[in-house]
A and B are shown apart, each in its own frame.
Chain A
Amino acid sequence: MDIKEQEVTKNTLLKEIAKCRACRFCVDACSLYQVTEGVESMAPYGRLQILKYLLNGMLDEDDPIIYSLYSCLQCGRCDRVCQAKGQDLEVSKLIRLGKYLLSQGLVKGKKSEKV
């Protein structure tokens, strides 16, 4: 992914995540939310918010962000909930795209390369 593609992906992600209403209906569907006894940053809703605030510059890339995003199992259960009751977002696809963007940064030797 070259810089131009990264920029397009970033803008697509920001536009899509802006649709999330923070209703949190998706959280219970997530296995990671369940095993962490309800940690919201380990839930689909939380991952979308983290991506948003990472991409708009409010958050810096650090280990907890990477743990949160990479903990997504891509099972797609949150997609079903969002489709039926929320904003009809392809949540797992957005997280996958976000991870991909992040990995582009990692291979260039950012501080979280160790992860």
Chain B
Amino acid sequence: MEVDRAKVGKHLAKIVGKEHVFTDRATSVVYAKDTMPWDVEEKNIPYAVVRPSNSKEISKILKYANEKLIPVHIHGSGTSLVGLARPKTKGILLDTARMKEIRVYPERGYFEVEPGLHIADVRKVLAKHNAMLPVFPGSELVATIGGTIAVNTSAHGVDAALGKPGDFVLGFEVVLPTGEVIHTGTESTRRPAGIDPTKFFIGSEGLLGVLTLLRMRLIPLPYFQHIVANYKRTEDILDTVMEMYKQGIFPPLFFEFLDEDAAKIGYDAVGLPEPIGAVAMMRIHSWSKAGAEERAQNFLKFLSVANPIEARIVTDPEEWNTIWSSRAEAGNYMYRLGMTFGSEITPRVDKLKDAFQDAKVIILNLDSYKDNEFISFGHIGAPTIHAYAFVRTKDISNEVKKAITVEMREKTEELNIKYGGCGGEWGLTAQRVSFLKKKYEPELYELLVKMKKALDPNDILNRGNLQGWI
């Protein structure tokens, strides 16, 4: 279908004002690029980037898109690690960055926020009200609250300790793909029983609507204690996680680790001396200072179950920040030395060690690339295994980058099937549709397609993600 870029731009300008529409290719390319390691291709470049300020404008944009049958791709900050953020087909890119109002209502027990506000900024505002945002992505400097809830990502947060971010959503304002504006949920701190349409949109990855206002419960800011533990081998950390669940011990809010190689790179990047072995880091929370201290002491005792070389409570906030940076920024620090190709395996917890060993074998025997290394770090207590193929060069062609990504995805998907997992952080469409089709009955994928079609008959929003186009 031939689309006149200038004509689209002119129409969009009537809706949002000409200063908020870009039809130049340079701006379109910048928005199309995401963290996927290969270059943007012609098919990814939008006709126009539009930057609305409210739901009324979004409604008009979507009605226009339906009338002209032009796909619309929603953009938060483009930080998805599985390609959700890259438009799969030409269309209009809808940037939510201008929508960043936040209102905190302590007397009502909730806050309302527009989708484009960055997580770090939401956290700062809530901190003034002594409240915690239950969202912990590594990309929080720039990731948006809208994108985070649209993926319902746990990231550092251990689900069993706090729940998922979507558990704290009380309601939405949503613009449906056909342009109607609806409101869901409640203004009470008590969530609806029975059918709650709010849940349809949590984690819907922009396929069913554009979230234009999010209402979330305020969580009193807990007290934290931090533990760092060094182990001879990563396997000891895996044993600890398995034993923690088996013994029914309440998990820390964060239970992260760096394997032997990742620990060396991470510690070096933040200027710490080279650690021996693998490192685990935990954040313990409680709503009283004494409670947090008691929990931390008890957890420290429990850690002896797998004989760490050393395990201690870190009381100096500056020291903790440095140690934590080695983990929080590990992905970027590894990337400085070459490239990493990731995976997300969330096995049944009693199979954690088996899944980890299988992942290692897969990654050290790739067909698409030889001489890569295996490296792993991340949210092991969740449990999530981020098993990476680590390549110590950036000099690889786009084709090989794609081939490694696809092979990693397909082979680690098999582990999620074998060990009963699904994922818990990176979303389930875009590159992971093939997993959905393999893991579940064909009727499950058909159900998703029917739901999409019921709300979005012209397949306007984020076209290609539910199809699994790369």
User: CB within 8 Å of B: which residues of A?
Assistant: 18-19, 21-25, 27-28, 37-41, 45-46, 49-50, 53-54, 56, 58-60, 62-65, 68, 81, 84-88
Contact = CB atoms under 8 A, between A and B. Distances in A.
B22 A41 contact: yes
A46 B25 CA distance: 12
B26 A23 contact: no
Interface of B: 22, 24-27, 29-31, 33-35, 39-40, 51, 77-79, 95, 97-98, 100, 116, 118, 120, 139, 141-142, 329, 332, 335-336, 394
B261 to A, nearest CB: 19
B97 A41 contact: no
A28 B144 CA distance: 12
Given A58-B39, A62-B24, 10 more contacts: A22-B35, A25-B142, A27-B142, A28-B141, A37-B51, A38-B51, A39-B27, A41-B31, A53-B26, A53-B29
A41 B100 CA distance: 19
Nearest to B140: A25
Nearest to B34: A22
Given A18-B394, A39-B51, A23 B79 contact: yes
Given A19-B394, A22-B78, A59 B116 contact: no
B93 to A, nearest CB: 10
A61 B336 CA distance: 30
Nearest to A18: B394
Nearest to A89: B336
A19 B395 CA distance: 10
Contacts of B116: 38
B26 A40 contact: no
A45 B35 contact: no
A86 B77 CA distance: 16
Given A27-B142, A38-B98, A85 B24 contact: no
Contact of A49 (B29, B35, B95, B336): B29
Given A53-B40, A85-B141, A87-B336, A21 B35 contact: yes
A3 B42 CA distance: 29
Given A25-B141, A28-B141, A85-B329, A50 B97 contact: no
A42 to B, nearest CB: 9
A84 B321 CA distance: 13
B98 A37 contact: yes
Nearest to B270: A84
A21 B142 contact: no
Contact of B29 (A37, A50, A62, A84): A50
B142 A28 contact: yes
A21 B26 contact: no
Q: Which 10 A-B pairs have the closest CB atoms?
A: A38-B97, A64-B24, A46-B30, A41-B27, A41-B30, A24-B142, A65-B26, A50-B26, A49-B30, A40-B30
